[in-house]
Amino acid sequence: MTKLSVNINKIATLRNSRGGNVPNVLSTALSCERFGAEGITVHPRPDERHIRYQDVYDLKAEITTEFNIEGNCQEQKFIDLVLANKPTQVTLVPDILGQITSNHGWDTIKHQAYLKEMVSLFQNEGIRVSIFVDPIEEMVEAAATTGTDRIELYTEAYAAEYGFNKEKAIKPYFKAAQKAREVGLGLNAGHDLDLNNLAYFNQHIPGLLEVSIGHALIADALYLGLEETIKRYLAALKA
């Protein structure tokens, strides 16, 4: 079954808006695990507007499921953070400074040499590497030449189109997934997946190993409660 990794950035955003330590990021992560999540994802940024660097150390010390750190490997501080904590997986995302949220994948053709260097750096420390890419077959194929273990498909376009034409929405992702399988890459996905569109995506994407979901899941938890929300997301992945 496709694994659910819960991105807890929004918990940190809420905590930081008031100061103090409520809600508690670590306690939330441990609750997510207890309720069935198979992984915890964080995406620290240089301004620490949500996940703080210290949060990463605190989480690494306590969580028992897979730990996924996303971020921009063009920042030395991010590289140092990942190497110090040795998560299960690092997901390389081409953010720029001050970016609100991730909004595009890597150009794996243009940045092939650089990505190859970064992939090797993390793999040599025993860290699985995933590269964030758009659902473009050429980008998937070029990602494979970097030596990465996996790619993560950026799913905002799918989510935006799903309500109008789900068959059209899924088509480029299906093709990208087929290409990933052809070139021997593991496959993750994330961004704007929710209870409305997740089951269809999972059913139509061959070889999907993991989805990382934060914003929608935390928003749903405001209405449903965290435990019930995680149960529903897991059910969608089993549908």
For residues 237 and 210, give the distance between their C-alpha atoms in angstroms, rounded to a whole number.
10
Q: Assign residue 40 the CATH number of its domain.
A: 3.20.20.70
- Say what the pLDDT of residue 235 is: 98
Residue 183 CB partners (closer than 8 Å, separation 6+): 140, 141, 144
Alpha-carbon span 188 to 131, nearest angstrom: 9
Single out the catalytic residue among 33, 43, 111, 152: 43
**Is pLDDT of 52 > 70?**
yes
pLDDT of residue 102: 54
Residue 70 bears catalytic tag: yes
Mean model confidence pLDDT for the chain: 95
Predicted confidence (pLDDT) at residue 104 exceeds the cutoff of 90: no
Catalytic residue among 33, 50, 152, 191: 191
Give yes or no for a cis peptide into 23 (omega within 30° of 0): yes
Q: How far apart are CA 110 and CA 55, in angstroms?
A: 33
Could you read off the pLDDT of 190-221 as tens digits, one per residue? 999 999 999 999 999 999 999 999 999 999 99
pLDDT tens across 160-178, in order? 999 999 999 999 999 999 9
Q: What is the pLDDT of residue 239?
A: 85
The model's pLDDT over 178-188, given as tens digits with 9 standing for 90+, comes to: 999 999 999 99
> Residue 214: which of 233, 200, 197 has the closest Cα?
233
Q: Is 91 left (phi over 0), alpha (psi -120 to 50) or beta?
A: beta
pLDDT confidence band for 99 (50 / 70 / 90): low
Residue 97 pLDDT: 57
> Can you spell out the DSSP letters for 6-51?
EE-HHHHHHHHHH-TT-S-HHHHHHHHHHTT-SEEEE---TT-SSS
If you average pLDDT over residues 59-87, what whole number do you get? 96
Question: Which SS3 state, helix, strand or coil, does residue 239 take?
Answer: coil
Does the annotation mark 152 as catalytic? no
Across 4-10, average pLDDT: 98
Percent of the chain clearing pLDDT 90 (strictly above): 91
Question: pLDDT tens for residues 111-147?
Answer: 999 999 999 999 999 999 999 999 999 999 999 999 9
From 70, 111, 152, 210, the catalytic residue: 70
Domain containing 107: what range?
3-238
In percent, the amount of the chain with pLDDT more than 70 equals 96
Task: Give catalytic status of residue 111 as yes or no.
Answer: no
Q: Is 166 exposed, middle or buried (0-12, 13-18, 19+ CB in 10 A)?
A: middle
Domain count, the chain: 1
Question: What tokens were used for 34?
Answer: 């207890």
Query: What's the pLDDT score for residue 16?
Result: 96
